[in-house]
Each structure stands twice: as C-alpha cells, then as structure tokens.
C-alpha cells in the first residue's frame, strides 16, 4: 500500500481497502483557475483547497479526491473577470453537474462494496 490519502495515488485494491475500513470521509477540493495578482499563480485556489483537504483528511483518517481545477469566474467587481489572461472558467451549472456526477460515482463504489 502506498499509505497515501490521495485517491489518485492509490491502486483500486488500496482504495477498496480504504472504503472497507470504515467508510472514511472523502474531500473533493475545488478551485478556480484565475488571476490572483502578478505575484500568485493562476492555480492558487486549487493549491490552497488541496492543501486544506489533505490536512483535514489526515486528521480525520479520510481521503482526498483529485481536485477540480476549474470554477466559475470571479466578477470584475471583485478584481477578477475575463480581462485577465489565464482566467479559464466553466458555467456554474457545469460545475454543479460535475460535482454531482463525481459524488454519484463515489457513492456507487461504496454501495457496491456493501453488496
């Protein structure tokens, strides 16, 4: 076993052992790809949410799913928007459907192990 909390680093058998253990908490980091000033990377949101998710998962004995690295664009009134190079976003509905489908897939895995 890798001993990793990151699902993407696990084999399917390691993942199976984790979910059989005691149905651990699963965290799904989400962060927009957008400007954060000239001093920070475009992926700052995803980097921070992943780090927080890893810290929480470690303390709870949970797992971290691969991040969703796109979100809904920030609004120009909050300092963001399309006029900054690198800002790449998806519609809010698309993000909601993506999260729903990922969680359904995880739930399906957990239900299958109980059968």
pLDDT tens by residue, 7-28: 999 999 999 888 887 778 899 9
Alpha carbon distance 87, 45 (integer Å): 12
d(CA 108, CA 100): 12
Task: Name which CATH class applies to 7-13+22-105.
Answer: alpha beta
Whether 113 has a pLDDT exceeding 50, the answer reads no
Higher pLDDT, 25 or 114: 25
Specify whether the CB–CB gap between 60 and 53 falls below 8 A: no
Q: Taking all residues of the chain, what is their mean pLDDT, rounded to a whole number?
A: 85
More confident residue, 29 or 1: 29
Closest listed residue to residue 93, CA positions, set 101, 82, 85: 101
Tell me the angle at which helices 12-22 and 92-114 cross, rounded to the nearest 10 degrees.
80
Task: Kindly state the tokens that stand for 99.
Answer: 């999260």
Residue 87: band (very low, low, confident or very high) from pLDDT cuts 50, 70, 90: confident
* Segment 34-66, tens digit of pLDDT: 888 889 999 999 999 999 999 999 999 899 999
Q: What is the pLDDT of residue 52?
A: 97
Residue 81 has pLDDT above 80, yes or no: no
Backbone angles phi, psi at 24, to 5 degrees: -65, 160
């Amino acid at each position: 076993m890798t001993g990793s909390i990151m699902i993407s680093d696990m084999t399917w058998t390691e993942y199976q052992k984790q979910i059989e253990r005691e149905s651990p908490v699963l965290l799904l980091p989400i962060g927009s790809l957008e400007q954060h000033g000239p001093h920070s990377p475009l992926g700052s949101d995803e980097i921070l949410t992943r780090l927080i998710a890893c810290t929480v998962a470690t303390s709870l004995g949970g797992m971290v799913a691969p991040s969703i690295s796109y979100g809904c664009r920030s609004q120009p009134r909050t300092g963001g928007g399309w006029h900054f190079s690198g800002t790449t976003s998806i519609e809010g509905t698309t993000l909601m459907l993506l999260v729903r489908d990922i969680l359904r897939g995880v739930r399906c895995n957990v239900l299958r192990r109980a059968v």
